[in-house]
Structure 1
């Protein structure tokens, strides 16, 4: 009996010693995934200049503006006293208001708020003007590349963050986007105050007919090009995009190529080469909804390399020389192709002129992939 008790005591002693040994090893050797995560994430230091904090907060707010406006709308819907006004707003929005097709409700005051200056300075985003554009004619700006979201286009053509009106006095720019964006209550009103309008053919025509100085900006590559947006590359979807050139000819509007260096550098995109399941699903989504969802990541609010905010990387939008076209309501395919050739040559010239200054870390040269 005493022998049994001794054996039991020894077992407990060995078990305790073994447990302590294992726990000490576990403490000394952290779990590999956790250790790797801690090693890879670069956290923001506690002391950051106030200016940079404000820039970061402005970009963060704009990045989630759709959820914010949806939340505000739902809060308003929770107040029964407001229901008659909200119903009237929805009826007006869907049945009466044609502003997205008429150039929005551009507000110079709203476009000039310091909010947008902080937005542009975050990257920082700037524009480079190659020549003056007289305000005695309409213009069609073709913006390249699309990037993941097109933050450079937003900063340059939808706000005064980069000083567009000062650089081109008398020209009223309208950045064009998908009509779906104007189906979100409250958010649509913010877009229209910035002069953002629908990218429909009717909208383009209405704006260009508004008179001298009217201008539209089309991000030509669209959703298809966003799937090719990766740092150090400039793969453009342009060869089959003839609609914006035809619109310019029909209205006698000068075509102005714009190449935005750095637009593709502000996000990292997950591998999605043609033929992969991810790429096929993205293209299927695009065919169903008119836009696609690139799988991307950027930085976070409290770290530099994990999150959905764009990286702080310089964006320079070079606004090239205008291509004058003769007005023709029914241009032939040959005429459209001739103008497209001139457009591509001018866009290529911009790339070759500034690539060594603004694209020093490029992985390959400009390429028109489709």
Structure 2
């Protein structure tokens, strides 16, 4: 726990007289200067008084930032490789943007190709909406993702078999900061999804904004990711395939404190309606430890940070949680996730009757059944995979 120290008290300058206060405008041709006084003292503050005194913050305790904890030099090679893989993915978006704009601006040989590529994906390519991306098994089974999952590590636990001839809507909880558990389980084969559920082809869904980033979009589509839009969801399910939606979305990332399990689910009915209209079974999924891989900075309701994040979310469709983790060379400062285990438990399927136009009562009934199944999943595995939890499962919104 960080030590708390008193801020350095200001030193009163005895060699100079305090600022005088004219008794009336007649005493001085200029506007009188009002002396600021410390709340515990009657005498006016001198010119050398600190800003903390002037703001009545002398008694405020300011926590001392923890000392930087550097990573040792004698780290095993396989752990160095895992860290390098995670660091590469953490900076994949700026890497892709640098390659694209570097080719566009600085290379006369690559510029025509960059322009043609931009025209193609902006005007013509909609695979991420209509076809579930361009899923490639060699990308999903790459050793890159094996090392990525081993870094935390991330593992997947199956509670029940899923018939290969069915189609499913997997609901992943919690969102965390970046949903690493969902990415490894449903967008790669690093945790053996196809071996656990043979014949089930699932597409992880994400925001449309990710598919407007050059090159990065192609990597995502190769992993089988697609748009989380209604059109995309129904298109994939009509193909006889399955989808995974991180239900809490951007709002839930604001509650992703380590050890907590606060979910945004009460008003999330869209995935229920899609499952009913397409006759797809619902499967609750819980990522134990998802909220532990980053440290979220305080953002209680009413604070400026919270208001800014909610405004940003309402304006741009996603939010910006303020968080920190570690880096390649330090263990307590940086933007890389911590090495903390994440166990993704895939629950039992909930059969859903297909209805083209479900009523509100029918949607609410299925939604209630889903919440009960998710609660049962939590209660069954919490003492095994969330031993150090600070709170129980709670629906906050």
1:218 and 2:245 correspond: yes
Residue matched to 1:140: 169
Residue matched to 1:95: 123
1:123 and 2:152 correspond: yes
Q: Distance in 2 between matches of 1:39 and 1:85?
A: 49
Q: Deviations over 1:170-212 (max 9, x none)?
A: 111111000000001101000000000010000001100112x
Q: Distance in 1 between matches of 2:355 and 2:372?
A: 22
Equivalent position to 1:168, from 185, 197, 215: 197
Q: Deviations over 1:223-280 (max 9, x none)?
A: 0000000101000000000000100111000100000000000000111011111100
Equivalent position to 2:91, from 57, 64, 69: 64
Q: Deviations over 1:123-148 (max 9, x none)?
A: 00000000110111211000000001
Equivalent position to 1:282, from 309, 312, 332: 309
Residue matched to 1:14: none
Q: Distance in 1 between matches of 2:356 and 2:122?
A: 31
RMSD: 1.2
Residue matched to 2:376: 349
Residue matched to 1:84: 112
How far residue 70 of structure 1 moved from its aligned partner, in angstroms, is: 0.6
In structure 2, relative to structure 1, the CA distance for the partners of 1:55 and 1:331 (3 Å cut) is: same
Higher relative contact order (CA 8 A, sep 6+): 1
Residue matched to 2:210: 181
Residue matched to 2:329: 302
Q: Which has the higher helix share?
A: 1
Q: Distance in 2 between matches of 1:81 and 1:72?
A: 14
Stretches of structure 2 that go unaligned for 5 or more consecutive residues are 1-62
Aligned length: 333
- Residues 43-54 of structure 1: matches in 2 within 5 Å? 43-54=70-81
- Residues 149-168 of structure 1: matches in 2 within 5 Å? 149-168=178-197
Residue matched to 2:101: 74
Q: Distance in 2 between matches of 1:82 and 1:254?
A: 47
Q: Distance in 2 between matches of 1:329 and 1:292?
A: 33
In structure 2, relative to structure 1, the CA distance for the partners of 1:295 and 1:38 (3 Å cut) is: closer
Query: Matched residue of 1:92: which SS?
Result: helix
Residue matched to 1:9: none
In structure 2, relative to structure 1, the CA distance for the partners of 1:259 and 1:39 (3 Å cut) is: closer
Normalized against structure 1, the TM-score is what? 0.88
Query: Matched residue of 1:224: which SS?
Result: helix
Q: Deviations over 1:267-302 (max 9, x none)?
A: 001110111111000000011111111000011111
Q: Distance in 1 between matches of 2:350 and 2:226?
A: 23
Q: Distance in 2 between matches of 1:147 and 1:319?
A: 17
Residue matched to 2:259: 232
Query: Matched residue of 1:40: which SS?
Result: coil
